[in-house]
Amino acid sequence: MPTAPKAIDFYWDIGSTNTYFAWHLLKPILAKHQATLNLHPFNLGFVFREHNYTLMEEPKVKLINRKRDLQRWAERYNLPFRMPDRFPIKSSVALRASLVARELDVEHAFLDKIFARYWEQNDPTISGVNGLLEVAQELGLDTQHFEERMETKEIRDGLIRSTQTALQRGVFGAPSFFVGEELYWGKDRMEFIDDQLALA
């Protein structure tokens, strides 16, 4: 009897530094276990507000250390990460765009490009329509159709549903992962995810 395919539910927001690293660190684990990655964009700012958390309202020394620690991660995994000049950014348009990319079967390629633009190339234009249309064009998509779909009620409602589902499942930050109903949070949980997939 064939075994059920292994899968990870990945809750992400482009505005999360740790999600950038997780996006890359997940790939060898997926290949190792031949697992499926189910992508769930969600509005992290909305989730923060639901949990009464305000980004950047932390001790200055902690914020300084966080920047250095992110650079350590980049060096450790040989990733061209750089902290963008404009941070944070509004991410809802990019999140909606990812749902359109899913419809057009380029969801993973789309994420590769927007994460590279913002977290490697210091390009904040992916927070707006024009920057996202450039990405769509690079992927060979019909940009007029892409823009029209981004603004539809169906896509807007899809992002709302994805965000509400994240809250219902107990998601409080990004990146968040589920293997079955086990929740893992953060870029430094890859060993646990690897172990859980081995048991799945």
Q: Supply the DSSP symbol for 86.
A: S
The CATH number assigned to the domain holding 73 equals: 3.40.30.10
Q: Is residue 16 part of a domain?
A: yes
111 falls within a domain:
yes
Per the structure, how many domains does the chain have?
A: 1
Instruction: State pTM to two decimals.
Output: 0.93
Q: Which domain holds residue 21?
A: 7-199
User: For the segment 15-69, what is each residue's pLDDT rounded down to a tens digit?
Assistant: 999 999 999 999 999 999 999 999 999 999 999 999 887 766 777 888 888 889 9
Contact 114, 126 (CB under 8 A): yes
- Could you tell me if residue 116 is inside a domain? yes
Flag whether 195 is in a domain.
yes
For helices 92-103 and 143-150, give the axis angle rounded to 10 degrees.
Answer: 120
Structural domain contains residue 134: yes
Q: Could you give the C-alpha distances from 183 to 1, 11, 180, in angstroms and in order?
A: 28, 10, 8
Contact 119, 82 (CB under 8 A): yes
Inter-residue contact 173 to 119 (CB < 8 Å): no
CB 155 within 8 A of CB 120: no
Using one digit for the tens of pLDDT, what is the confidence trace for 129-147?
999 999 999 999 999 999 9
pLDDT(123) > 70: yes
Provide the pairing of β-strand 7-12 with 176-179: antiparallel
> For residue 1, is it within any domain?
no
pLDDT score, position 56: 65
Say if 164 falls within a structural domain: yes
**pLDDT band, residue 4 (cuts 50/70/90):** low
Amino acid at 81: F
Backbone angles phi, psi at 39, to 5 degrees: -90, 135
- Identify the CA nearest to 189 among candidates 37, 79, 29, 49: 29
Give 72-84 pLDDT, tens digit per residue: 999 999 999 999 9
Q: Spell out the residues 6+ positions from residue 152 whose beta carbon is closer than 8 angstroms to its own.
A: none
2 is a domain residue = no
Instruction: Summarize pLDDT for 146-191 with one digit per residue, the tens.
Output: 999 999 999 999 999 999 999 999 999 999 999 999 999 999 999 9
Q: Is the pLDDT reported for residue 125 higher than 70?
A: yes
